[in-house]
């Protein structure tokens, strides 16, 4: 008997498990580190309004498309297109998805390794008594090293692999059901502490006051690109997860819940960070350093800073972990189903391969920083290739597949769970995936290429 008999396929056991896993994938470093910073840089409130429009009009329909494809095909991202169409072209989505998973998980592992180091430093109260310069040097010295970041990266990948080996019920669902509520509790605690800081109101204003004069065409493109990254769209993570959905999972409601939760957490992260940044006169647009260099400064100055710092880096680590398992699952499902090998072997093989490419990313900050294409090191190249090219292109193809290629009755069957739920917005949905999503996404894609060409 084949090792991967589809009728014996693993799957989620509850609605809450599905929401925990899917929001676990969506909520990650993108929400807690990237969103506050790019929102701040692009005019705060005005940017957030544009981003919300993209989440609703493009993010949710593309997410629904991935769910429809995954649950209908009940296979990994490559197998899904093999099964749904005889035309070989669409398998390209699967190939791009697996490639994007490799690239994203590689640099995700690098940032996760920094998170582990900072969690330990927080525990040891190592930020205490250090000046801003000393904290910056501390980050540079650590991240440019060759041993420690690599060891933490291996540890993080091993933890990710451990959960993925367990499968869906006994791995991904089991752990995300514990980790996601934990994340919510931590972030709410951080928000309460941050909002009550004296001088924090300025942070509120910065984040929510819509100043449209700061919006440029680039901010609009950034907002769309980030909507993709933050919702884990365009590379088959959600196709793979949906292949384990139950018959009665409501695809429309699940998409709205996941997108809603992801957005709320991004806003809560901004609320935890900016009031503190303003209360202590730090630089709001400090970019990648914001979390690792600026925040430790603030922890030192604020009441309860010791606990706050531990909880913050724990939050970051948990968010990174529940996203990284979803990325690894894309490759593991692909390898185990297409090559017909056991989940355990597929996971070990995948984890080792991605750890190797990931170490290249980590070392590209320090020892391998001389290897560059244009001004970009390996870490940047992986990020640009995945986020600016593969995700938008994948998302565009997925929406075109649903809008133009998939039979309409399959779409309505999946959205209505074979007639058991009343359909409300099918016409709007078809319009969005047929026209609006492909056109808008192609803008991001062209922008991504343009960025590379002019640099």
- Stretch in the footprint of ligand PHE (CB under 6 A) among 2-10, 210-218, 229-237, 416-424: 229-237
3-class SS of residue 417: coil
Instruction: Give the nearer residue to ligand PHE in terms of CB position, either 193 or 230.
Output: 230
DSSP string, 304-370: THHHHHHHHHHHHHHHHHHHHHHHHHHHHHHHHHHTT--HHHHHHHHHHHHHHHHHHHHHTTTTTTT
Site stretch for ligand PHE (CB under 6 A), options 3-11, 74-82, 228-236, 424-432: 228-236
Looking at the Cβ atoms of 232 and 377, the one nearer to ligand PHE is 232
In the complex, least distance from residue 2 CB atom to ligand PHE, rounded to whole angstroms: 29
Whichever of 354 and 411 has its CB closer to ligand PHE, that residue is 354
Selected from 237, 239, 261, 333, the binder of ligand PHE by CB under 6 A is 237
417 — alpha (psi -120 to 50), left (phi > 0) or beta?
A: left
Residues in 101-140 that interact with ligand PHE by CB under 6 A: 104
Contact flag: residue 62 with ligand PHE (CB under 6 A): no
Distance CA 445, CA 455 (A): 16
CA distances in angstroms from 328 to 33, 34, 300, 349, 366, listed in the order given: 21, 21, 36, 11, 26
31 is a contact residue toward ligand PHE (CB under 6 A):
yes
Residue 28 in contact with ligand PHE, rule: CB under 6 A: yes
Q: Name the segment binding ligand PHE (CB under 6 A); options: 130-138, 231-239, 306-314, 335-343.
A: 231-239
Mark 172-211 with x for binding to ligand PHE (rule: CB under 6 A) and - for no binding.
----------------------------------------
* Sequential DSSP letters for 179-245: HHHHHHHHHHHHHHHHHTSTTTHHHHHHHHSB-GGG--HHHHHHHHHHHHHHTT-SSSHHHHHHTT-
> Does position 63 bind ligand PHE by CB under 6 A?
no
Residue 388 binds to ligand PHE (criterion: CB under 6 A): no
- Does 230 engage in binding with ligand PHE (CB under 6 A)? yes
Quick one: which of 18, 19, 22, 29 contacts ligand PHE (CB under 6 A)?
Answer: 29
Position 267 contacts ligand PHE (CB under 6 A)? no
Q: Which stretch binds ligand PHE (CB under 6 A): 230-238, 310-318, 343-351, 401-409?
A: 230-238
Q: b/e string for 419-441 if b means 16 or more Cβ within 10 A? A: eeeeeeeeeebbebbbebbbebb
Q: How far is CA 142 from CA 172, 239, 302, in A?
A: 31, 37, 25
Residue 17 in contact with ligand PHE, rule: CB under 6 A: no
x/- contact string, 314-353, with ligand PHE (CB under 6 A)?
---------x--xx--------------------------
Shortest Å, Cβ 99 to ligand PHE: 12
Closer by beta carbon to ligand PHE, 238 or else 279: 238
Q: Is 408 exposed, middle or buried (0-12, 13-18, 19+ CB in 10 A)?
A: exposed
CA distances from 22 to 175, 254, 327 (A): 12, 9, 11
Between residues 102 and 206, which has the closer beta carbon with respect to ligand PHE? 102
Q: In whole angstroms, what is the distance from residue 26 CA to residue 11 CA?
A: 19
Q: What residue ranges bind ligand PHE (CB under 6 A)?
A: 25-26, 28-31, 104, 229-230, 232, 235, 237, 323, 326-327
């Amino acid at each position: 008997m084949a090792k991967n008999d589809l009728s014996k396929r693993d799957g989620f056991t509850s609605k809450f498990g599905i929401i925990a896993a899917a929001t676990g994938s969506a909520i990650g470093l993108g929400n807690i580190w990237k969103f506050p910073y790019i929102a701040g840089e692009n005019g705060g409130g005005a940017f957030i309004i544009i981003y919300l429009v993209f989440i609703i009009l493009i993010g949710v329909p593309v997410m629904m498309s991935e769910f429809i494809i995954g649950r209908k095909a009940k296979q990994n991202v490559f197998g899904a297109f093999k099964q749904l169409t005889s035309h070989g072209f669409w398998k390209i989505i699967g190939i791009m998805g697996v490639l994007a998973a490799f690239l994203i998980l590689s640099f995700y592992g690098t940032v996760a390794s920094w998170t582990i180091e900072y969690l330990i430093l927080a525990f040891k109260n190592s930020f205490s008594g250090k000046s801003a310069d000393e904290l910056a040097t501390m980050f540079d010295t650590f991240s440019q090293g060759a041993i420690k970041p690599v060891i933490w990266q291996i540890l993080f990948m091993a933890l990710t692999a451990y959960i993925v080996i367990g499968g869906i019920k006994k791995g991904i669902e089991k752990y995300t059901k514990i980790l996601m509520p934990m994340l919510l509790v931590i972030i709410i605690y951080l928000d309460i502490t941050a909002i009550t800081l004296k001088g924090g109101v300025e942070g509120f204003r910065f984040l929510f006051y819509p100043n449209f004069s700061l919006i440029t065409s680039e901010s609009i493109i950034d907002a769309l690109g980030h909507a993709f990254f933050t919702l884990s769209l365009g590379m088959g993570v959600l196709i793979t997860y949906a292949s384990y959905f139950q018959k009665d999972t409501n695809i429309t409601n699940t998409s709205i819940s996941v997108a809603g939760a992801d957005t709320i957490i991004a806003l809560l992260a901004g609320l935890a960070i900016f009031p503190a940044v303003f209360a202590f006169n730090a630089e709001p647009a400090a970019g990648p350093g914001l979390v690792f260099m600026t925040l430790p400064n603030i922890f030192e100055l604020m009441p309860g800073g010791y606990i706050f710092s531990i909880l913050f880096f724990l939050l970051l680590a948990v968010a990174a972990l529940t996203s990284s398992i979803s990325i690894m699952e894309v490759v593991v499902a692909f390898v185990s189903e297409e090559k017909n090998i056991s989940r355990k072997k597929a996971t070990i093989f995948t984890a080792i391969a991605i750890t190797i490419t990931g170490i290249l990313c980590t070392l590209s900050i320090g020892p391998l920083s001389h290897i560059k294409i244009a001004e970009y090191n390996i870490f940047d190249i992986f990020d640009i290739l995945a986020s600016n090219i593969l995700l938008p292109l994948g998302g565009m193809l997925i929406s075109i597949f649903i809008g133009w290629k998939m039979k309409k009755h399959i779409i309505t069957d999946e959205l209505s769970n074979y007639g058991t739920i009343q359909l409300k917005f099918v016409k709007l949905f078809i319009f969005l995936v047929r026209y609006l999503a492909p056109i808008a996404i192609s803008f991001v894609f062209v922008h991504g290429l343009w960025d590379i060409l002019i640099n």
